[in-house]
A and B are shown apart, each in its own frame.
Chain A
Amino acid sequence: MKTINVTEITKNIREMCIEANHYLTPDMDCALKKAMTAEKSPLGKQILSQLQDNLQIAGDDMIPICQDTGMAVVFMEIGQDVHFEGGNLEDAVNEGVRQGYTDGFLRKSVVKDPLIRENTKDNTPAVIHYEMTAGDSVKITVAPKGFGSENMSRVFMLKPADGIEGVKNAVLTAVKDAGPNACPPMVVGVGIGGTFEKCALLAKKALTRPVNEHSDIPYVKEMEEELLEKINRTGIGPGGLGGTTTALAVNINTYPTHIAGLPVAINICCHVNRHAVRTI
């Protein structure tokens, strides 16, 4: 049994919100650099080079990589032998977001009610996903999600008869419809299986997997590679202004599902695929 004071959670989440909005993870950095060499369009190359300059300035001058510093999505993977003390865990997470977005000069983009639309002015509440795991540690992933790409995400409730071709078509449809709106080059998170909400969560979680790692399941890995190639032949390109770099990765997660269904979710992320991960 390990006891963790929730102030520790607040402190870490505060720092992770700021970190994720100013620095990309090394795998994303590397993928964007590689894309610059591979891109065939001169304008596409120029845009990718601007993205390099942008990342440099963001880190050097502490200006967020993108002005849409997102809605804070927080994955809490909590070991079952952990005991929290010092207050309510959910409040502690939101306090971390509040402090991070205020102290870090991050944009407050959350409205309290989806229709009345009054800004909460501190970017809370976060969207929090809890998962119980074995052991006595807490793994926190903070993934600020911008809505240019979030708005282009889709859920398809396919039929079993649609099969793998149906899944591939769903992904390609979502990407083509997203086009320039989702700030390509994008990262495409895909969830296949489960239920309506489970596939969406699988897709969201897939975005936090390093872009240079494939699924452990051989046929899923093949599908990731094939879809990436097809997406990069759409011509959408960097900024949607034409080119051969439309996506940096397709990450697919799967889960068992019902005999009658084939749910597929596509969560699209822009090139600012942000996340910070810490284990306490």
Chain B
Amino acid sequence: MDRHIKAPLTDEDARSLRSGDYVYITGTIYTARDAAHLRMYEALDRHEPLPVGMAHNIIYYMGPSPAREGRPIGSAGPTTASRMDKYAPRLLDLGLKGMIGKGKRSDAVKEAIVRNKAVYFAAVGGAGALLSRSITESEVVAYDDLGTEAIRRLEVVDFPVIVVIDAEGNDLYESAVRDFSC
């Protein structure tokens, strides 16, 4: 089913999305990948506030290529989500509602998704030029020294993703592969 949703994500939207839905996201999302996750994790260990609030937000696992002049961003496709599995449950427990990446998630992440009624979306890996067209603004909001791994606020319009793991724990990577294996 095709859905158009707004980001930040409401509880109702997060709960109603189903594994396999094709979703267009419009609104504000944030990027973070390996190095930014490590820093956020360490900040939490020190009982310091995160540079970006997690409640209702969507994190896009992505580190862009540099923008050419006059463009908001360079190539901007998803990176492999499993590298963030160590950090994701803690952020989900702090209210994170959505993650965009590619590839399988751990059981601990799936459990945290179900526990917090959140969603894991996949964007098409290796389609960074196409996906960059749905990003209208990009601004570094934290960890500037990390370069491509800094946390960015992105404004997106009809950003195309597919629901892989829904709030009930259904996983499209498992169900769809079963449908086509022979």
Which residues of A does B touch, CB under 8 Å? 40-41, 43-44, 47, 50-51, 53-55, 57-58, 61-69, 105-109, 117, 119, 121, 146, 148, 151, 179-181, 183, 233-237, 239-244, 270-272
Stretch at the interface among B9-17, B45-53, B70-78, B106-114: B70-78
Q: Is the CB of B82 within 8 A of A181?
A: yes
Q: Chain B: interface residue count, which band?
A: 35 or more
Known: A151-B80, A180-B103, A180-B122. A237 touches B177 (CB 8 A): yes
Residues on the A chain within 8 Å of B147, using CB: 108, 119, 121
Q: Give B104 Cβ to nearest chain A Cβ, in Å.
A: 6
Q: Is the CB of A235 within 8 A of B74?
A: no
Q: Is the CB of B65 within 8 A of A47?
A: no
Number of A-B contacts (CB under 8 A): 165
Known: A148-B80, A179-B104. A239 touches B125 (CB 8 A): yes
Q: Is the CB of A239 within 8 A of B64?
A: no
Residues on the B chain within 8 Å of A66, using CB: 75, 77, 125-128
The A-contacting residues of B in range 61-115, CB under 8 angstroms, are 62-68, 71, 74-77, 79-80, 82, 102-104
Q: Which of B35, B74, B164, B176 is the one whose CB lies under 8 Å from A107?
A: B74
Residues on the B chain within 8 Å of A67, using CB: 62-65, 74-77, 128, 148
Q: Is the CB of A179 within 8 A of B103?
A: yes
Q: Is the CB of A57 within 8 A of B129?
A: yes
CB-based nearest B residue for A240: B173
Q: Is the CB of A236 within 8 A of B66?
A: no
Q: Give A73 Cβ to nearest chain B Cβ, in Å.
A: 18
Q: Which of A47, A63, A180, A244 is the one whose CB lies under 8 Å from B75?
A: A63
Q: Is the CB of B124 within 8 A of A63?
A: no
Known: A237-B180, A242-B177. A105 touches B68 (CB 8 A): yes
Given A54-B124, A237-B180, 13 further pairs, Cβ under 8 A: A44-B180, A57-B129, A57-B133, A63-B132, A68-B77, A105-B66, A107-B74, A107-B148, A151-B80, A179-B104, A180-B103, A235-B179, A243-B180
Q: Is the CB of B130 within 8 A of A53?
A: yes
29 contacts between A and B (CB under 8 A): A40-B180, A43-B162, A50-B124, A53-B127, A54-B127, A54-B131, A62-B68, A63-B75, A64-B74, A65-B75, A65-B128, A68-B63, A105-B65, A105-B68, A106-B66, A107-B65, A107-B66, A107-B75, A107-B148, A121-B147, A148-B80, A148-B125, A179-B177, A180-B125, A180-B173, A234-B181, A235-B177, A242-B177, A270-B126
Docked complex Cα distance between A50 and B35 (Å) = 29
CB-based nearest A residue for B103: A181
Q: Is the CB of B128 within 8 A of A51?
A: no
Q: Give A151 Cβ to nearest chain B Cβ, in Å.
A: 7
Docked complex Cα distance between A43 and B124 (Å) = 11
Q: Which of A58, A62, A121, A179 is the one whose CB lies under 8 Å from B173?
A: A179
